[in-house]
Amino acid sequence: MSRAMMRCDVSPSFVFSFVLAHTSATYNTMSDFESTVSLSSSSPSTFIQSTIAMAESPSTRNAGPPFDDADADIIIRSCDNVEFRLHKTMLWKASTTFSDMFPSHPLPPNSRNDTQPTSRDGLPITALSEDGRTLDHLFRLIYPVDNPKLSSMDDVRSTLEVLEKYRVDAFPRTIEQTLLKAAEAEPEAVYALACRYKLRSIAQTAARMTLRKPIAVRSMDASVSGAEYRRLVQYQTECIRAAVAAVQTFTWASVDVRRPAGGEEPVTKCQCRRHGFAQGAGPHPTQGPSWLMDYRLRCCVALQRRPVGTTVMERDLLLSVLNAKVCQDCRKWIPGPFKEFSKHLAAEIDLRMMEVKRASQSHPVLF
């Protein structure tokens, strides 16, 4: 078959009918369609090009309440085409960057290089590089509305970045509360963010929360810098040293660990093998039964990995005492007085941790 025979002439009316049939779902009425494309003045080729351009242009959607005010004076569009109808005054007061972005006399439309419309309903449109979710978090922190729901560390990171980028004058209390809550599960990540954005109190709290997890088996957050990592390790080392010292010496005890709760003289009927303390407390003999010394050593090992008061009250440590071979006199003492003793020991360890914290606040090397 020759090329001439394969040639097919398509009339303009056929092209128009075909395109109209395939685009009719987009328009509710013929008048809507005609208002978009002028049928009387456009050639078929121009009409087809216009239709393709409209099909390829991304659709926009309204952000919805509370960012759809009828009296808004600007539209902010995200990179994923979510439009926020806002008030310039609110943005100006919260952000110096927004003050610079929205001058009193905006640039005329023909001075912009946007392919999308530069205004809608008489309101100027400003496109930003952040997505709709991030901008929603930002504007909820600026506006007097419900706080944003920052459900993940990614939300927290992106919100902190956008707050810094647009030079919001102060980090809202919401961010601090969210970071403190997140630190319970991811203290290292929160510590890194707090150091990055100079949130000193948050960094100290997050550093303290890192002690609650086993230090030796935990990997650090990748965003922590070398200097921040060294400061954190130094703080953890100081806490371990202080916690172990509380167990090794027992100099903090107000009574001998074998003295009954009523304050009578130390029990002398104990038949257990006894060992001396490194240091004792008060006028009483600085000795203790072997099972207590074993508990003490176990606590020192456990505190190397998790230097917090609750460590000495862990189930495995207490069971080691209950299952130990002890004399009848000690067997009577373990269930009650010993449990109280372990609580006092835990409180003393936490007190030592607070002393390390106070020292770190005045020590520039730590925080």
User: Is the pLDDT at 103 greater than 80, yes or no?
Assistant: no
What 8-state DSSP symbol labels residue 359?
Answer: H
Distance between CA 353 and CA 364 in Å, rounded? 18
The pLDDT of 75-99, averaged and rounded, is: 91
**119-170 residue pLDDT tens:** 788 889 999 999 999 999 999 999 988 888 888 888 988 999 999 899 887 6
Greater confidence, 317 or 222?
317
> Among residues of the chain, what percentage have pLDDT more than 90?
23
**Is there a contact between 171 and 177 (Cβ–Cβ < 8 Å)?**
no
User: Is the pLDDT at 19 greater than 50, yes or no?
Assistant: no
| Cα torsion 18, 32, 76, 177: sign | negative
Distance between CA 360 and CA 177 in Å, rounded? 22
Greater confidence, 105 or 236?
236
Tally of CA atoms within 13 A in the half-sphere of 262 that contains its CB: 4
Q: In the structure, what pLDDT confidence band is assigned to residue 319 with cuts at 50, 70 and 90?
A: confident
**222-231 residue pLDDT tens:** 667 788 888 8
pTM beyond 0.75: the answer is no
CA dihedral 309, 313, 317, 322 (to 10 degrees): 150
Q: Where are the chain's structural domains? A: 10-56, 61-142, 153-229, 245-357
* pLDDT value of position 137: 94
Lowest mean pLDDT among 166-170, 284-288, 302-306, 325-329: 284-288
**Is there a contact between 169 and 96 (Cβ–Cβ < 8 Å)?**
yes
> What are the CA-CA distances from residue 350 to residues 22, 211, 212, 292 (Å)?
73, 11, 12, 21
User: Is the pLDDT at 107 greater than 80, yes or no?
Assistant: no
* pLDDT value of position 34: 45
Q: 300, 206, 172: which is closest to 245 by C-alpha? A: 300
* pLDDT value of position 304: 92
Residues 6+ apart with CB under 8 A from 262: none
The pLDDT of 253-265, averaged and rounded, is: 45
* pLDDT value of position 228: 84
* pLDDT value of position 367: 52
* pLDDT value of position 252: 54
Greater confidence, 101 or 40?
101
Q: Classify 159 as helix, strand or coil.
A: helix
> Among residues of the chain, what percentage have pLDDT more than 70?
65
- Burial class from Cβ neighbours inside 10 Å (0-12, 13-18, 19+) for residue 97 reads middle
**33-61 residue pLDDT tens:** 444 444 344 454 544 444 434 444 468 89
* pLDDT value of position 292: 83
* pLDDT value of position 42: 46
Mean pLDDT of the chain: 74
* pLDDT value of position 220: 61
